[in-house]
Amino acid sequence: MILTVTLNTALDITYRVGSLRPHASHRVSEVTERPGGKGVNVARVLAALGHEVTVTGFTGGATGRVVQERLAAVPGVADALVPVSGATRRTIAVVDEQTGDTTQLNEPGPMVTPTEWSAFQEAYEDLLPSASAVALCGSLPPGVPVGAYAGLVRTARAAGVPVLLDTSGEALRRGVAARPDIIKPNADELAELTGSHEPLRATQDARRRGAGAVVASLGPEGLLAATREGRWRATPPTSVRGNPTGAGDSAVAGLLSGLVAHLTWPDRLARAVALSAATVLAPVAGEFDRATYEELLGRVTVTGEASAA
């Protein structure tokens, strides 16, 4: 079982309008709802790849009940969310059908009390013995300590479970110091962490700060990885145009899938890039077509070298 942690789960709501104009009323042509938050998105992709996944984090209120109802309909995903008194947040995406642009509105999430945070930590410790890997993903809701991910990384490492961290800002800075096995920042998050805008230098610096491996997302240019085993660059076969929503979460799923399958780093990176590209090409944001993914997988380019023994 792969465990994904989403402390700030969400109900993702997408509105489609013909043309988005400020200070105007709009007729919505389509509304979609689905459970969200980065770790939930990762779990959905992993389940589509055939992995058994457990989702944990917080859920509360009427919105939280809808999230859990929708999760129950996803094959291969088990719900281990911890209840809180506050309401799960909503994220609102408004898609302009004329331009293809998306405007995003993200609520902050429920206030988590110290008692609720303690209950989550106990649930997390109980889940770890059954986990082959754990992903810690996304933002922290109000009330959760900024060093929360650092503590969760240390708990996973003490249990002998490899851990991937995908967050940003101070939560990432503190989390890296706890020595996660993998971090997956994008270029901006990596620059904020290290102060360097040169990706190769920044990945090496992030490793010196404590990460076992750093896999930096460079958007349409693919992934750059600095690991104990070597350094590699993985790029998609062609320039991929489409909706990038969820592409980073698909890359995380690819890295975790490759980790538990004991693939080499080049093969893990190829899987992550192919999944990310297939997600960009999909007509529904955050989803992917299996046939497209498999076709892309054989055409991803991975260059680099292994470290000397």
Sequence letter at residue 182: I
Residue 133 contacts residue 54 (beta carbons within 8 Å): no
Residue 252 contacts residue 49 (beta carbons within 8 Å): no
Helix (H) or strand (E) segment spanning residue 297: helix 290-297
Active-site residue flag, 249: yes
Helix (H) or strand (E) segment spanning residue 275: helix 265-281
Residue 171 contacts residue 190 (beta carbons within 8 Å): no
What are the DSSP calls for 203-268, one per residue?
A: HHHHHHTT-SEEEEE-GGG-EEEE-SSEEEEEE-SS---S--TTHHHHHHHHHHHHHHTT--HHHH
Output DSSP code: residue 129. G
Query: Coil, strand or helix: which one is 128?
Result: helix
Residue 184 contacts residue 172 (beta carbons within 8 Å): no
CA 309, CA 305: separation in Å to the nearest integer? Answer: 12
Q: For residue 141, what are its two tokens? A: 């809701």
Provide the sign of the torsion angle of the four alpha carbons 130, 88, 41, 205, taken in this order. negative
Catalytic residue among 12, 166, 181, 249: 249
- 54 forms bridges with which residues in the sheet? 3, 78
CA 136, CA 120: separation in Å to the nearest integer? Answer: 13
* CA dist list (Å): 279 to 231, 255, 305: 25, 15, 28
CA 290, CA 308: separation in Å to the nearest integer? Answer: 36
| Catalytic residue list | 249
